[in-house]
Structure 1
Amino acid sequence: MNPEEFRQALLDHGIALTDAQMAQFARYYQLLVQTNEHLNLTAITAETEVYLKHFYDSLTGAFAYPKLQSQALTLCDIGAGAGFPSLPLKIAFPQLEVTIVDSLNKRINFLADLCDDLGLTGVHLVHDRAETFAAKGSPYREQFDLVTARAVARLVVLGELCLPAAKVGGAFLAYKASAVNDELKLATGAINKLGGQVAGTTKLTLPTKPGAEERNLVVIDKVAKTPGKYPRRPGVPAKKPLVNV
């Protein structure tokens, strides 16, 4: 997917990018590849692959959660890495107020430089672990309209890391690949225990050649407060996931 194919694919979904926004994506790609030479941000570096598997893939969240396109939501991206999906969403929908959480300070520094270079405002960068970012007593706990996570962990783990940051009445949007049904079966009990309720899954495909790659976007509504003992201390959610609770 080259830049013009990227622009057209989004237009097919009713999302029209300006020339200025396209220039921001072009600069994003340039800085990503430059920085990746000395900091491991992504294994995907070819322009057509970045536009498809990072930029376009990030923006598919707006297909599953249309409020992203028009509302001034507070969005928290847990484990954003090189800024996906939150910064492509911010570029496309500048009314979003974005908070990015990552445990590696080098990535946070890259994102700070990137936001400065792209002229992005309303982006807040937090160097922290997901388990402590929205723990009991944190000012970030249950503060966000929408929490996102992409390629971070299994859904049963993600629920414990992300739902504590979502406000009641908000939601958690998980970007998953093809094995989502098994993950959902395993995670539903934990999601309910954490104050969430699965609202639905949007299935789509990335227009790769040959064939297509399946993607699943799981929307989980935050319907009740998360019990204060969650999330558990760093490392525990992954080692002892809330299975069969």
Structure 2
Amino acid sequence: MEHDIRALTARLIAQRWLPRKDPMVRRALIDETFRHEIDQRLASVGLRLLDNPYAAHVAVGLTPDALEPTFGSGREYQASNMGLTRDEIALLVVLWALIILPKRERQVTRQNLANEGQEELFAAEQPVAHGAEVSAGVSEASLIADFGPRLGGKTKVRNFMLGRLARLGFIERRSGMLLEGPLLDVALDYRLMADRIIHGTLAGVLSDAGHPPPAADAFALAGADDEDEFDGDMPEPGSEIF
């Protein structure tokens, strides 16, 4: 077991994310003893496993006590430890709202893209879905047309901002579509973000651009509680990513 623990820990640190279907990752998610050893090994160097049962990947991030010693000396940490600008963070949050919120709504209602909008008999008996079958993309041209003027111009968004988010693993760009990347559903905390978007300022911005967020009941189904109500501060996307 020691060899597997060292191997998985090294892969997580080196690659930053791994698919949930990976045999060692699956073992860490179902084997309590193995998971405890992985958590202990990561914690010894200020890291922790970022896991979301609805996400197709797991990732490694910093523990809260390691954030300031690791990134506190850099000016960019005030916005993001990845060096993202305010405009890039705003675009990241918009993409998260357009891709992850509808995806989560489909997951908690046991729907995939093929039967979206149809009633499903015995839906409660189906497993919670995650992955490509429930994650839809966003048209790059539509996104740029809607939000480019608000974020520094269409050229800046297309040539620089989207490219940076893709290189960091938040999104993938395929044939004019923006798809969920391996970090998008694990790096941003759904429990904190969803209610703030559904009931906050971004909901109006999305609606004005023709992208209304899903109904609030999807957030409730995902397991939020009253303690996570909006307190006026938007969380910092990526603040825990290693």
TM over 0.5: no
Q: Which has the larger radius of gyration?
A: 2
| TM-score, with length taken from structure 2 | 0.30
Q: Which has the higher helix share?
A: 2
Q: TM-score, normalised by structure 1?
A: 0.30
Structure with greater proportional strand content: 1
